[in-house]
Amino acid sequence: MFNQQLNNLGVQVALDVPLRTLFDYRLPPTFPQDAIRPGIRVKVPFGRTVVVGVVVSLEPPQIESAKLKDVIDVLDEEPLLSAETLKLLQFAADYYHHPIGEAIISALPVALRSERALSAKIRRYRLGPVAWGSRLGRVQQAVLTLCQSQDWVDEAKLRAIGGSVAKVIQDAVAQSRLTEEWVTAPTSNASPPQTASVSSPALNEDQSACVDQVERALGQFKGFLLEGITGSGKTEVYLKILDAVRAQNGQALVLVPEIGLTPQTQRRFEERFPGQLSILHSGLTEIERLKQWRAAFNGSASVVIGTRSAIFAPLKKLSAIIIDEEHDLSYKQQEGFRYSAKDLGLRRAQQLNIPIVLGSATPSLESLKLVHDHKLTHLRLTKRAHTNAHLPVMACVDLRVHPQTGGLAPPTVAAIERHLHAGHQVLIYLNRRGFAPTLYCSQCAHSVQCLHCDARMTVHLKIHKLRCHHCNAERAIPYACPHCQAELHPIGAGTERLEEHCREWFPGHAIARLDRDVITHQGALQETMERIRSNQAQILLGTQMLTKGHDFPNVTLVVVVNADQGLFGTDFRSSERMAQTIIQVAGRAGRADHPGEVIIQTSCPDHPLIQSLLTEGYSKFAEEALKERQEHHWPPFTRLALFRAEGLNRRVVFEFLDHVRELLRARVTGSVTILGPAPALLERRAERYRAQLMLESTDRLALQNALRAVLPLIQSWPKLRQIRYSIDVDPLDIS
């Protein structure tokens, strides 16, 4: 009777296809009662293929049961995605207007998007119905003796016999002298207690107050913004919160921007929680990621630390969420499923009724607005954790008065020499890779452009090539201008050129360069970090990789080479990002016993942003920036959504966005403003033309309803196959 009822229910399955719907299937009457539950993977027919999907619900089918295809197989004994995780994913797919199946499948590690089992399988053997006989070799006798000593013997124990044991086992199974079976490898739901390899340092008054507030919130939803100056000990606050979570037998999730760039952070967590840590990030192999995911799933990991996608980690006893460097742009997915891990973290904490901590030395204006609206509690760390450490002294070098050579002005060179002579390290920040950003002809003003993008090609002198940093196209450096045959000159400085000049200016001082041209794998980063920690390198030179939470105790001088890059950006967030970058990189100086100094090279020393940071710090800048955003009706006081489109034919791209604009105009209310379409800042990239249409509103619901109204209508546009389009809700980059 039950099977008949179950068969009539049908199953809604999420499939990894770009369609905004779930798919109905019928259950064969032979399936047991509890075989199908939401969150379990199933194998189903789809078109002419067989695919793996995730059951989302058991509901009466929308079409006649006889017309439905049957589920072929059930792949799991228990749901891989909990009801809570499915609810979060369904919300995310709806809010960000992404195909539901792609969203749900993306929450699984790649290894589980096929028929692979969650748990590892092992082979074991027992004596079969056929006797072994009396004349046995040494290996045969050892196998027989071991199998006689117990009911089942794991393959690993048999293989430990050595010799020709593999052949002996194979022959014995074929002759029915051994019976073979595959079983799930045993897993423990909790690792045995291990003692931390380092002791926990005492907290200062500020740190203790922050920890106490979060601990009191365990078991309820409450959001915190932990604003701590660089070097104030935010990580130690996180670790103490995790101690409290583990003491209550809970699990915690910690998100970091780029775990591969912060090995120090990973090491601190491993030292404090040995055997209790699961690490999830894109740099893992499929097998290793499955292993880490499994540890979170079965509860053997009490702390999960990971990047953006770890927001969907399968934690059954999740009791707290921590998002470090919450201002970082990497928490927003920029391709495909364009979700914000930070916003979904707040949503998940609310669903589970648990606390969440957003931490940063330079909080985003969105988070500060939530504080002003009493949706987050503001916690502050106002002094550095190291007893003798103080915030560095910041000053400008006016490039109008002191022209730079090779990237550095004379007063900057003198300051570097002074700090090096004192035996300290110097950090030089320039967010521009390569030797020079432009190859220029002074006779006819020609600059070498990428053939596939609307961008200049960057000079990489060491490999003697020009490279486009947008599409990665490469070509040999020309010896003369293709138009007038005059000599071409590299203009401007990148990290490669700056390194070359530093070797000339500071002979005898080793240089460690950190950018994606030299740090191409984890091993290279580890090696470079060790050179820095051991003081084998005295000059640290690099791009934004240097700002990612590193602790360099012997760095006493930080140089920001080109602060003007972010002062006049086309994106309304440019000034916020520049302020955050300056404060973050400046925070690497003076974190131990010696005072720190920061030099900002700029042609605009009187710019309000520069002056605000120099005289009053980031908090005052953020306060003024919020007022400016409110006056100009920009986020976080309004909501944005972007229709992005790209294609090989520019005219078709704009035809599509014009069509979308007309659909919107016929359906939106007066609270939604439509802007565009307009070309992207880099209109042509990798041979494809790009443009966008912006929607703006103070009413989030009105904006969402506008998107829902037009999405089904877009699919019938006759030239849709000629373009690619996406919807970016709450975009962090509108260029």
Checking DSSP bridges between strand 597-602 and strand 672-685, what pairing results, if any?
unpaired
Q: Which residues contact 470 (CB under 8 A, 6 or more apart)?
A: 450, 453, 455, 682, 685, 686
Confidence of residue 387 (pLDDT cuts 50, 70, 90): low
Question: Positive or negative, the Cα torsion across 324, 584, 258, 594?
Answer: negative
Q: Which residue has the tokens 């719907």?
A: 21
What's the pLDDT at 288? 85
CATH number of 639-729: 3.40.50.2300, 3.30.70.600, 3.60.110.10, 3.30.70.20? 3.30.70.600
- pTM, rounded to two decimals: 0.86
> In whole angstroms, what is the distance from residue 625 CA to residue 477 CA?
43
91-105, 388-402, 416-430, 517-531: the lowest-pLDDT one = 517-531
Query: Same CATH topology for 205-381 and 393-436+492-629?
Result: yes
Q: Which of 186-200, 379-393, 410-424, 576-590 has the lowest mean pLDDT?
A: 186-200
Task: Give pLDDT tens digits for 557-566.
Answer: 999 998 887 7
pLDDT value, residue 363: 95
Q: Confidence class of residue 8 from pLDDT cuts 50, 70 and 90? A: low
Q: Is the pLDDT of residue 28 over 90?
A: no
Q: What number does CATH give the domain 205-381?
A: 3.40.50.300
Upper half-sphere CA count for residue 722 (Cβ side, 13 Å): 14
Q: Give the pLDDT confidence score for residue 713 in this predicted structure.
A: 92
Delimit the domains of the chain by residue range: 2-112, 121-184, 205-381, 393-436+492-629, 639-729
Contacts with 107 (C-beta within 8 Å, 6 or more apart), sequence order: 81, 85, 89, 309, 312
pLDDT range class, residue 724, cuts 50, 70, 90: very high
Domain 393-436+492-629 maps to which CATH number in 2.30.42.10, 3.40.50.720, 3.40.50.300, 3.40.1210.10? 3.40.50.300
What single letter denotes the amino acid at residue 652? V
- CATH 3.30.43.10 is held by the domain 2-112: no
- The tens digit of pLDDT for each residue in 167-223 reads 899 889 999 999 988 776 655 444 454 555 566 778 888 999 999 999 999 999 999
Q: Give the phi and the psi of residue 179 in degrees, each rounded to 5.
A: -105, 130
**pLDDT, tens only, 133-142:** 888 888 999 9
Judged by average pLDDT, the poorest of 259-263, 422-426, 524-528, 618-622 is: 259-263
The answer to whether the beta carbons of residues 703 and 674 sit under 8 Å apart is no
- What is the percent of the chain where pLDDT is above 90? 50
Tens digit of each residue's pLDDT (9 = 90 or more) over 223-277: 999 998 887 889 899 999 999 999 999 999 999 987 665 667 778 888 888 888 8
The model's confidence at residue 412, banded by pLDDT at 50, 70 and 90, is very high
CA-wise closest residue to 349 among 368, 380, 370: 370
- pLDDT score recorded for residue 32: 72
pLDDT of residue 159: 85
DSSP structure class, residue 715: T
Residue 4 confidence (pLDDT) above 50: no
State the fold for domain 121-184.
Arc Repressor Mutant, subunit A (1.10.10)
